[in-house]
Amino acid sequence: MKKRHIAVSLTGLLALAHIAAAVEPDDLILNTDPEPDLTTPGFVDLFNGRDLTGWSVKGGRMLFKAKDGVIIGTCVQRQPNGFLCTDKTYSNFVFTTEFRWEVLGNSGIMFRAGTKIQGTMQDRVFGYQAEMDDRERRYTGGIYGEAMGGWKYPLSKPEAHAEARAAIRDHREWNRITIEAQGNVCKTWVNGIPCSHLVNDERSEGFFGLQVHGGKQGTINWRNIQIKELDE
């Protein structure tokens, strides 16, 4: 049992070392802004609460359905990462949604995303992803480059990101994530707590995608999906 515990710990340390090598914590700009006011005029619903009109599945063929005002995404084993994507693309915006897990499994919200051919997959989704992390590291609100080089903004500053990593108290309760993209600056908040502040020129426009990560399990719910488009 002790050897197994050590092996798991070493795996975790190696993963953290890889993240640190890719993005130096000292290079991360802190998000010190308050969450945008979500009660201001201009927000529109991206989900009609009844069906998946305006959305389509890309990547792995995970199961998505609408029920009682909620989008439910369920992992299908032996499928790669799957995404329920908006048919429309967006550039500058404030996006917000509530989410919770029925069954734990890695997830996230793609934004400014696109598709490309990768191997046998004709619609591999890539772009920025606001992480929804069910694991102990608690990186929900970090920004990952899906099929785009890995982490862009991990919540890896031990003290500075402590509050952000503690923003979710219960994964199975409803939580809120907000994303603001304006020019080359992308910021996130979880339950009103500032998380990421990314300055990056790789993507300026694309669709949103609700991710169900490939693996053995995962059932994720989203509701109150809204966007307010911003001027350039």
Q: Which of 201, 190, 67, 96 is nearest to 145 (CA)?
A: 201
pTM: 0.91
Six-digit token pair at 113? Answer: 């995303």
C-alpha–C-alpha distance, residues 8 and 100, integer Å: 27
Mean pLDDT taken over the chain: 92
Amino acid identity of 208?
F
CB 128 within 8 A of CB 114: no
| Closest to 73 in 3D by CA, of 214, 210, 224, 216 | 210
Burial class (CB in 10 A: 0-12, 13-18, 19+), 140: buried
Rounded-to-integer distance, Cα 112 and Cα 128, Å: 6
The strand ranges marked E within 61-103 are: 63-67, 70-74, 82-86, 93-103
Which has the higher per-residue pLDDT, 222 or 18?
Answer: 222
The residues pairing with 130 across neighbouring beta strands, listed in sequence order, are: 109, 143
Q: What are the pLDDT digits (tens) for 153-199?
A: 999 999 999 999 999 999 999 999 999 999 999 999 999 999 999 99
pLDDT in tens, 57-87: 999 999 999 999 999 999 999 999 999 999 9
pLDDT band at residue 18, thresholds of 50, 70 and 90?
Answer: very low
d(CA 164, CA 159): 10
**What are the residues whose beta carbons fall under 8 Å from the beta carbon of 68, sequence distance 6 or more?**
none
**CA separation for the pair 125, 117 (Å, rounded):** 9
- Give the CA distances from residue 112 to residues 104, 208, 231, in Å, rounded to whole numbers and listed in that order: 26, 7, 16
Full set of structural domains in the chain with CATH? 25-229 (2.60.120.560)
Please tell me the predicted confidence (pLDDT) of residue 107.
98
Q: What's the chain's length in residues?
A: 232
